[in-house]
Chains A and B, each alone.
Chain A
Amino acid sequence: MAKNEEALFPLADHFATPYQQVESSKLGMWLFLATEILLFGGLFTAYSVYAYAHPGVFKEAHRYLDVTLGMTNTIVLLFSSLTVVLAIHAAQKDKIKWVVFNLGLTIVCAAAFLVVKYFEYAHKFHAGLLPGRYFTNATISNPDQAHIFFGIYFLMTGLHGIHVVIGIGLLTWILLRAIKGDFGSQYYLPIEISGLYWHLVDVIWIFLFPLLYLIR
Protein backbone atom coordinates (compact mmCIF):
# COMPACT_ATOMS: atom_id res chain seq x y z
CA MET A 1 0.00 0.00 0.00
CA ALA A 2 1.17 3.48 -0.83
CA LYS A 3 2.37 5.64 2.03
CA ASN A 4 -0.05 8.51 1.42
CA GLU A 5 -3.20 6.41 1.47
CA GLU A 6 -5.34 9.53 1.88
CA ALA A 7 -4.28 10.63 -1.61
CA LEU A 8 -5.53 7.32 -3.06
CA PHE A 9 -9.01 8.02 -1.80
CA PRO A 10 -11.13 9.71 -4.52
CA LEU A 11 -12.55 12.70 -2.69
CA ALA A 12 -15.19 14.98 -4.24
CA ASP A 13 -14.40 18.70 -4.00
CA HIS A 14 -17.30 19.55 -1.74
CA PHE A 15 -16.23 17.18 1.05
CA ALA A 16 -13.62 18.07 3.65
CA THR A 17 -12.54 14.51 4.42
CA PRO A 18 -13.13 11.03 3.01
CA TYR A 19 -14.93 10.13 6.23
CA GLN A 20 -17.42 12.97 5.70
CA GLN A 21 -17.89 11.77 2.13
CA VAL A 22 -18.75 8.24 3.24
CA GLU A 23 -21.11 9.38 6.00
CA SER A 24 -23.03 11.88 3.90
CA SER A 25 -23.33 9.52 0.93
CA LYS A 26 -24.76 6.79 3.12
CA LEU A 27 -27.12 9.21 4.85
CA GLY A 28 -28.31 10.45 1.46
CA MET A 29 -28.91 6.88 0.33
CA TRP A 30 -30.86 6.04 3.48
CA LEU A 31 -33.03 9.12 2.98
CA PHE A 32 -33.72 7.95 -0.57
CA LEU A 33 -34.53 4.46 0.70
CA ALA A 34 -36.97 6.01 3.20
CA THR A 35 -38.83 7.63 0.30
CA GLU A 36 -38.78 4.28 -1.51
CA ILE A 37 -40.40 2.64 1.51
CA LEU A 38 -43.11 5.31 1.41
CA LEU A 39 -43.56 4.84 -2.36
CA PHE A 40 -44.26 1.14 -1.89
CA GLY A 41 -46.14 2.05 1.30
CA GLY A 42 -48.98 3.54 -0.73
CA LEU A 43 -49.42 0.21 -2.51
CA PHE A 44 -49.16 -1.75 0.75
CA THR A 45 -51.93 0.48 2.13
CA ALA A 46 -54.08 -0.20 -0.93
CA TYR A 47 -53.43 -3.89 -0.39
CA SER A 48 -54.42 -3.71 3.29
CA VAL A 49 -57.64 -1.81 2.62
CA TYR A 50 -58.77 -4.08 -0.22
CA ALA A 51 -57.76 -7.23 1.62
CA TYR A 52 -59.85 -5.98 4.53
CA ALA A 53 -62.83 -5.09 2.35
CA HIS A 54 -62.73 -8.31 0.27
CA PRO A 55 -61.33 -11.10 2.47
CA GLY A 56 -62.92 -13.89 0.42
CA VAL A 57 -61.72 -12.53 -2.90
CA PHE A 58 -58.12 -12.34 -1.70
CA LYS A 59 -58.20 -15.81 -0.19
CA GLU A 60 -59.54 -17.34 -3.37
CA ALA A 61 -57.61 -15.30 -5.95
CA HIS A 62 -54.23 -15.97 -4.35
CA ARG A 63 -54.66 -19.68 -5.16
CA TYR A 64 -54.04 -18.72 -8.79
CA LEU A 65 -50.46 -17.74 -7.92
CA ASP A 66 -47.73 -20.37 -8.00
CA VAL A 67 -46.24 -20.64 -4.49
CA THR A 68 -43.29 -22.75 -5.69
CA LEU A 69 -42.25 -20.13 -8.24
CA GLY A 70 -42.71 -17.37 -5.65
CA MET A 71 -40.61 -19.24 -3.11
CA THR A 72 -37.89 -19.92 -5.70
CA ASN A 73 -37.79 -16.22 -6.50
CA THR A 74 -37.59 -15.34 -2.79
CA ILE A 75 -34.58 -17.59 -2.29
CA VAL A 76 -32.95 -16.31 -5.50
CA LEU A 77 -33.30 -12.72 -4.26
CA LEU A 78 -32.03 -13.60 -0.77
CA PHE A 79 -29.01 -15.26 -2.35
CA SER A 80 -28.36 -12.20 -4.53
CA SER A 81 -28.43 -10.08 -1.37
CA LEU A 82 -25.83 -12.38 0.15
CA THR A 83 -23.56 -12.07 -2.90
CA VAL A 84 -23.76 -8.26 -2.67
CA VAL A 85 -22.48 -8.25 0.92
CA LEU A 86 -19.84 -10.78 -0.05
CA ALA A 87 -18.74 -8.38 -2.82
CA ILE A 88 -18.44 -5.55 -0.27
CA HIS A 89 -16.54 -7.86 2.05
CA ALA A 90 -14.16 -8.82 -0.76
CA ALA A 91 -13.59 -5.12 -1.54
CA GLN A 92 -12.75 -4.47 2.12
CA LYS A 93 -10.16 -7.25 1.88
CA ASP A 94 -8.79 -5.95 -1.47
CA LYS A 95 -9.86 -9.13 -3.31
CA ILE A 96 -11.00 -7.47 -6.53
CA LYS A 97 -11.50 -10.77 -8.39
CA TRP A 98 -14.04 -11.83 -5.77
CA VAL A 99 -15.76 -8.45 -6.04
CA VAL A 100 -16.23 -9.02 -9.77
CA PHE A 101 -17.32 -12.64 -9.24
CA ASN A 102 -19.90 -11.79 -6.57
CA LEU A 103 -21.32 -8.80 -8.44
CA GLY A 104 -21.62 -10.95 -11.57
CA LEU A 105 -23.45 -13.61 -9.57
CA THR A 106 -25.83 -10.95 -8.22
CA ILE A 107 -26.69 -9.80 -11.74
CA VAL A 108 -27.27 -13.40 -12.85
CA CYS A 109 -29.64 -13.92 -9.89
CA ALA A 110 -31.51 -10.70 -10.69
CA ALA A 111 -31.93 -11.83 -14.31
CA ALA A 112 -33.13 -15.25 -13.11
CA PHE A 113 -35.70 -13.51 -10.93
CA LEU A 114 -37.05 -11.64 -13.96
CA VAL A 115 -37.18 -14.82 -16.07
CA VAL A 116 -39.29 -16.58 -13.41
CA LYS A 117 -41.46 -13.47 -13.20
CA TYR A 118 -41.92 -13.58 -16.98
CA PHE A 119 -43.29 -17.13 -16.80
CA GLU A 120 -45.64 -16.15 -13.98
CA TYR A 121 -46.93 -13.13 -15.89
CA ALA A 122 -47.32 -15.15 -19.11
CA HIS A 123 -49.47 -17.70 -17.27
CA LYS A 124 -51.70 -14.94 -15.90
CA PHE A 125 -52.06 -13.27 -19.30
CA HIS A 126 -53.14 -16.58 -20.86
CA ALA A 127 -55.58 -17.33 -18.03
CA GLY A 128 -57.16 -13.88 -18.29
CA LEU A 129 -56.20 -13.03 -14.71
CA LEU A 130 -55.72 -9.34 -15.41
CA PRO A 131 -56.71 -6.07 -13.75
CA GLY A 132 -59.98 -4.24 -14.31
CA ARG A 133 -61.98 -4.85 -17.47
CA TYR A 134 -59.27 -7.07 -18.94
CA PHE A 135 -60.16 -9.75 -16.39
CA THR A 136 -61.67 -12.61 -18.42
CA ASN A 137 -61.12 -15.68 -16.24
CA ALA A 138 -64.36 -17.64 -15.87
CA THR A 139 -63.26 -20.25 -13.30
CA ILE A 140 -63.07 -17.87 -10.38
CA SER A 141 -66.21 -17.61 -8.26
CA ASN A 142 -66.30 -13.85 -7.79
CA PRO A 143 -65.15 -12.25 -11.06
CA ASP A 144 -66.76 -8.89 -10.30
CA GLN A 145 -64.29 -8.35 -7.48
CA ALA A 146 -61.43 -10.76 -8.24
CA HIS A 147 -59.86 -8.34 -10.69
CA ILE A 148 -59.04 -6.07 -7.72
CA PHE A 149 -56.60 -8.65 -6.39
CA PHE A 150 -54.87 -8.92 -9.75
CA GLY A 151 -54.78 -5.16 -10.15
CA ILE A 152 -52.90 -4.93 -6.87
CA TYR A 153 -50.77 -7.96 -7.74
CA PHE A 154 -49.63 -6.49 -11.05
CA LEU A 155 -49.03 -3.01 -9.62
CA MET A 156 -46.95 -4.24 -6.69
CA THR A 157 -44.91 -6.90 -8.48
CA GLY A 158 -44.63 -4.63 -11.54
CA LEU A 159 -43.19 -1.72 -9.58
CA HIS A 160 -40.90 -4.17 -7.80
CA GLY A 161 -39.88 -5.61 -11.19
CA ILE A 162 -38.99 -2.12 -12.46
CA HIS A 163 -36.77 -1.76 -9.39
CA VAL A 164 -35.08 -5.06 -10.21
CA VAL A 165 -34.39 -3.84 -13.76
CA ILE A 166 -32.92 -0.58 -12.42
CA GLY A 167 -30.87 -2.64 -9.94
CA ILE A 168 -29.43 -4.74 -12.78
CA GLY A 169 -28.36 -1.54 -14.58
CA LEU A 170 -26.82 -0.12 -11.42
CA LEU A 171 -24.94 -3.31 -10.54
CA THR A 172 -23.68 -3.70 -14.12
CA TRP A 173 -22.20 -0.19 -13.93
CA ILE A 174 -20.56 -1.03 -10.58
CA LEU A 175 -19.29 -4.33 -12.02
CA LEU A 176 -17.68 -2.52 -14.98
CA ARG A 177 -16.04 -0.04 -12.59
CA ALA A 178 -14.76 -2.90 -10.44
CA ILE A 179 -13.24 -4.55 -13.53
CA LYS A 180 -11.62 -1.21 -14.41
CA GLY A 181 -9.99 -1.26 -10.96
CA ASP A 182 -11.79 1.68 -9.39
CA PHE A 183 -12.30 -0.04 -6.05
CA GLY A 184 -10.10 -1.29 -3.25
CA SER A 185 -10.11 -1.51 0.52
CA GLN A 186 -9.73 2.30 0.66
CA TYR A 187 -12.62 3.11 -1.65
CA TYR A 188 -15.66 0.89 -2.16
CA LEU A 189 -18.43 3.38 -1.35
CA PRO A 190 -20.33 2.96 -4.69
CA ILE A 191 -20.57 -0.82 -4.09
CA GLU A 192 -22.01 -0.17 -0.64
CA ILE A 193 -24.51 2.41 -1.88
CA SER A 194 -25.77 0.24 -4.77
CA GLY A 195 -25.80 -2.69 -2.35
CA LEU A 196 -28.13 -0.75 -0.04
CA TYR A 197 -30.52 -0.23 -2.98
CA TRP A 198 -30.39 -3.90 -3.89
CA HIS A 199 -31.09 -5.00 -0.31
CA LEU A 200 -34.14 -2.74 -0.20
CA VAL A 201 -35.49 -4.44 -3.34
CA ASP A 202 -35.00 -7.71 -1.44
CA VAL A 203 -36.73 -6.40 1.71
CA ILE A 204 -39.77 -5.31 -0.30
CA TRP A 205 -40.01 -8.74 -1.90
CA ILE A 206 -39.79 -10.31 1.57
CA PHE A 207 -43.12 -8.61 2.34
CA LEU A 208 -44.68 -9.04 -1.10
CA PHE A 209 -44.16 -12.81 -1.22
CA PRO A 210 -46.15 -13.85 1.88
CA LEU A 211 -48.81 -11.14 1.45
CA LEU A 212 -49.60 -12.06 -2.17
CA TYR A 213 -48.79 -15.77 -2.35
CA LEU A 214 -49.46 -17.14 1.12
CA ILE A 215 -52.47 -15.33 2.60
CA ARG A 216 -55.41 -17.36 3.81
Chain B
Amino acid sequence: MSFRHMVLGPKPHIQSVALYWIVFFALVSLTLLTVYLSHYDFGAWSVLVTLIIAGTKALLVMGFFMHLFFDNKFYALVASTSLIFLSIFILSSVLDFDSRSYVDEQDANFRLRDEKVYQRSLNPENLPFRPGLSEPDKALLIDIGPGEH
Protein backbone atom coordinates (compact mmCIF):
# COMPACT_ATOMS: atom_id res chain seq x y z
CA MET B 1 0.00 0.00 0.00
CA SER B 2 1.45 3.29 -1.06
CA PHE B 3 1.63 6.31 1.19
CA ARG B 4 -0.80 8.10 -1.06
CA HIS B 5 -3.31 5.30 -0.72
CA MET B 6 -3.03 5.33 3.08
CA VAL B 7 -3.64 9.06 3.24
CA LEU B 8 -6.26 9.63 0.56
CA GLY B 9 -7.78 6.16 0.55
CA PRO B 10 -8.84 4.31 -2.56
CA LYS B 11 -9.67 6.53 -5.52
CA PRO B 12 -13.41 7.24 -5.48
CA HIS B 13 -15.36 5.30 -8.08
CA ILE B 14 -16.64 8.05 -10.32
CA GLN B 15 -19.87 6.93 -11.95
CA SER B 16 -20.85 8.13 -15.40
CA VAL B 17 -23.46 10.86 -15.85
CA ALA B 18 -25.37 8.47 -18.15
CA LEU B 19 -25.86 6.02 -15.28
CA TYR B 20 -27.42 8.72 -13.12
CA TRP B 21 -29.80 9.75 -15.91
CA ILE B 22 -30.79 6.11 -16.53
CA VAL B 23 -31.56 5.68 -12.81
CA PHE B 24 -33.57 8.92 -12.87
CA PHE B 25 -35.68 7.77 -15.83
CA ALA B 26 -36.19 4.38 -14.17
CA LEU B 27 -37.45 6.22 -11.07
CA VAL B 28 -39.84 8.37 -13.12
CA SER B 29 -41.15 5.30 -14.99
CA LEU B 30 -41.77 3.49 -11.70
CA THR B 31 -43.64 6.56 -10.41
CA LEU B 32 -45.87 6.59 -13.51
CA LEU B 33 -46.35 2.82 -13.17
CA THR B 34 -47.49 3.05 -9.56
CA VAL B 35 -49.94 5.86 -10.44
CA TYR B 36 -51.25 3.80 -13.37
CA LEU B 37 -51.66 0.67 -11.23
CA SER B 38 -53.55 2.66 -8.59
CA HIS B 39 -56.54 2.75 -10.99
CA TYR B 40 -56.91 -1.02 -10.63
CA ASP B 41 -58.10 -2.81 -7.54
CA PHE B 42 -55.89 -5.69 -6.44
CA GLY B 43 -57.76 -5.99 -3.15
CA ALA B 44 -55.48 -6.93 -0.30
CA TRP B 45 -52.52 -7.16 -2.71
CA SER B 46 -52.59 -3.50 -3.67
CA VAL B 47 -50.65 -2.46 -0.56
CA LEU B 48 -48.00 -5.06 -1.36
CA VAL B 49 -47.75 -3.98 -5.02
CA THR B 50 -47.44 -0.34 -3.91
CA LEU B 51 -44.76 -1.16 -1.35
CA ILE B 52 -42.74 -3.30 -3.78
CA ILE B 53 -42.62 -0.45 -6.31
CA ALA B 54 -41.80 2.13 -3.60
CA GLY B 55 -39.13 -0.22 -2.18
CA THR B 56 -37.54 -0.63 -5.63
CA LYS B 57 -37.44 3.15 -6.04
CA ALA B 58 -35.90 3.58 -2.58
CA LEU B 59 -33.31 0.91 -3.40
CA LEU B 60 -32.38 2.72 -6.64
CA VAL B 61 -32.00 6.05 -4.84
CA MET B 62 -30.04 4.60 -1.92
CA GLY B 63 -27.90 2.32 -4.07
CA PHE B 64 -26.97 4.65 -6.94
CA PHE B 65 -27.63 8.21 -5.76
CA MET B 66 -26.50 7.68 -2.16
CA HIS B 67 -23.65 5.47 -3.44
CA LEU B 68 -24.46 2.54 -1.13
CA PHE B 69 -23.58 0.11 -3.95
CA PHE B 70 -20.13 1.65 -4.40
CA ASP B 71 -19.11 2.94 -0.96
CA ASN B 72 -17.88 1.12 2.13
CA LYS B 73 -20.45 -1.62 2.79
CA PHE B 74 -20.58 -0.67 6.46
CA TYR B 75 -22.88 2.27 5.56
CA ALA B 76 -25.27 -0.17 3.92
CA LEU B 77 -25.23 -2.21 7.14
CA VAL B 78 -26.16 0.87 9.19
CA ALA B 79 -28.97 1.80 6.78
CA SER B 80 -30.42 -1.70 6.57
CA THR B 81 -30.25 -2.17 10.36
CA SER B 82 -32.56 0.81 10.88
CA LEU B 83 -34.92 -0.49 8.18
CA ILE B 84 -35.00 -3.98 9.74
CA PHE B 85 -35.84 -2.62 13.18
CA LEU B 86 -38.45 -0.29 11.69
CA SER B 87 -40.16 -3.22 9.96
CA ILE B 88 -40.18 -5.16 13.26
CA PHE B 89 -41.83 -2.13 14.88
CA ILE B 90 -44.51 -1.79 12.20
CA LEU B 91 -45.13 -5.52 11.84
CA SER B 92 -45.56 -6.15 15.56
CA SER B 93 -47.90 -3.15 15.91
CA VAL B 94 -50.12 -4.31 13.06
CA LEU B 95 -50.06 -7.94 14.29
CA ASP B 96 -51.13 -6.67 17.69
CA PHE B 97 -54.08 -4.83 16.16
CA ASP B 98 -54.92 -7.77 13.94
CA SER B 99 -55.05 -10.24 16.82
CA ARG B 100 -57.21 -8.01 19.03
CA SER B 101 -60.33 -9.00 17.07
CA TYR B 102 -59.87 -12.58 18.33
CA VAL B 103 -60.16 -11.31 21.88
CA ASP B 104 -62.60 -8.45 21.45
CA GLU B 105 -65.36 -8.83 18.88
CA GLN B 106 -66.02 -5.11 18.87
CA ASP B 107 -62.69 -4.53 17.25
CA ALA B 108 -63.57 -6.62 14.20
CA ASN B 109 -66.91 -4.81 13.94
CA PHE B 110 -65.07 -1.53 13.80
CA ARG B 111 -63.37 -2.55 10.58
CA LEU B 112 -66.59 -4.02 9.18
CA ARG B 113 -68.56 -0.85 9.84
CA ASP B 114 -65.79 1.20 8.27
CA GLU B 115 -65.87 -0.93 5.13
CA LYS B 116 -69.68 -0.65 5.02
CA VAL B 117 -69.58 3.15 5.21
CA TYR B 118 -67.01 3.17 2.42
CA GLN B 119 -69.10 0.93 0.15
CA ARG B 120 -72.07 3.24 0.62
CA SER B 121 -69.96 6.29 -0.15
CA LEU B 122 -69.06 4.83 -3.56
CA ASN B 123 -72.58 5.70 -4.73
CA PRO B 124 -72.64 9.47 -5.28
CA GLU B 125 -76.36 9.55 -4.45
CA ASN B 126 -75.51 8.80 -0.85
CA LEU B 127 -73.13 11.75 -0.52
CA PRO B 128 -73.28 13.58 1.76
CA PHE B 129 -75.40 11.16 3.69
CA ARG B 130 -74.47 12.58 7.07
CA PRO B 131 -74.65 16.35 6.72
CA GLY B 132 -74.05 17.06 10.40
CA LEU B 133 -71.33 15.73 12.60
CA SER B 134 -73.79 14.43 15.22
CA GLU B 135 -76.74 12.05 14.84
CA PRO B 136 -75.41 8.56 14.08
CA ASP B 137 -76.91 6.75 11.10
CA LYS B 138 -78.82 3.78 12.52
CA ALA B 139 -78.51 1.75 9.32
CA LEU B 140 -74.73 1.66 9.68
CA LEU B 141 -74.60 0.47 13.26
CA ILE B 142 -73.73 -3.18 13.46
CA ASP B 143 -75.29 -5.11 16.28
CA ILE B 144 -72.48 -6.18 18.53
CA GLY B 145 -74.56 -7.98 21.09
CA PRO B 146 -76.13 -6.93 24.38
CA GLY B 147 -74.30 -4.80 26.84
CA GLU B 148 -71.39 -3.98 24.58
CA HIS B 149 -72.22 -0.37 23.67
A residues touching B (Cβ–Cβ < 8 Å)?
5-6, 9, 17-19, 22-23, 26-27, 30-31, 33-35, 37-38, 41, 44-45, 48-49, 52-57, 59-60, 67, 71, 74-75, 78-79, 81-82, 84-86, 89, 92-93, 138-145, 192, 195-196, 199-200, 202-203, 206-207, 209-211, 214-216
Known: A210-B50, A214-B38. A141 touches B20 (CB 8 A): no
B139 within 8 Å of A by Cβ?
no
CB–CB B94/A81 < 8 A: no
Best-buried of A48, A54, A78, A200 by chain B (most CB within 10 Å)? A78
B2 within 8 Å of A by Cβ?
no
Residue of A nearest to B58 (CB): A203
Known: A23-B9, A78-B24. A86 touches B129 (CB 8 A): no
CB–CB A216/B41 < 8 A: yes
B103 within 8 Å of A by Cβ?
no
Known: A55-B111, A71-B31, A210-B38. A89 touches B121 (CB 8 A): no
CB–CB A141/B128 < 8 A: yes
- Chain A positions within 8 Å of B21 at CB level: 82
CB–CB B38/A206 < 8 A: no
CB–CB B24/A142 < 8 A: no
A interface, by DSSP: helix, strand, loop or mixed? helix
- Chain A positions within 8 Å of B8 at CB level: 5-6, 9, 17-19
CB–CB A37/B86 < 8 A: yes
- Chain B positions within 8 Å of A81 at CB level: 24, 61, 65
B113–chain A nearest beta-carbon distance, Å: 8
| Size category of the binding interface on chain B | 35 or more
CB–CB A30/B114 < 8 A: no
5 closest A-B pairs by beta carbon, nearest first, are A56-B118, A19-B9, A34-B82, A56-B114, A141-B121
CB–CB A141/B126 < 8 A: yes
Taken together as a complex, chains A and B put the C-alpha atoms of A93 and B16 apart, in Å, by 11
**Binary CB contact string for chain B from 122 to 144 against chain A (1 if under 8 A, 0 otherwise):** 00001111111100000000000
11 further A-B contacts with Cβ under 8 Å, apart from A75-B31, A210-B54, are A26-B75, A37-B79, A41-B89, A45-B93, A52-B94, A55-B114, A92-B14, A145-B114, A200-B66, A209-B54, A214-B34
CB–CB B79/A55 < 8 A: no
CB–CB A38/B58 < 8 A: no
Taken together as a complex, chains A and B put the C-alpha atoms of A208 and B120 apart, in Å, by 27
CB–CB B94/A203 < 8 A: no
Tell me the chain B residues, 69-107 only, with Cβ under 8 Å from chain A: 71-72, 74-75, 78-79, 81-83, 85-86, 89-90, 93-94, 97-98
B8–chain A nearest beta-carbon distance, Å: 6
CB–CB B62/A138 < 8 A: no
Known: A71-B31, A145-B114. A216 touches B46 (CB 8 A): yes
Taken together as a complex, chains A and B put the C-alpha atoms of A31 and B79 apart, in Å, by 8
- Chain B positions within 8 Å of A59 at CB level: 118
Residue of B nearest to A63 (CB): B121
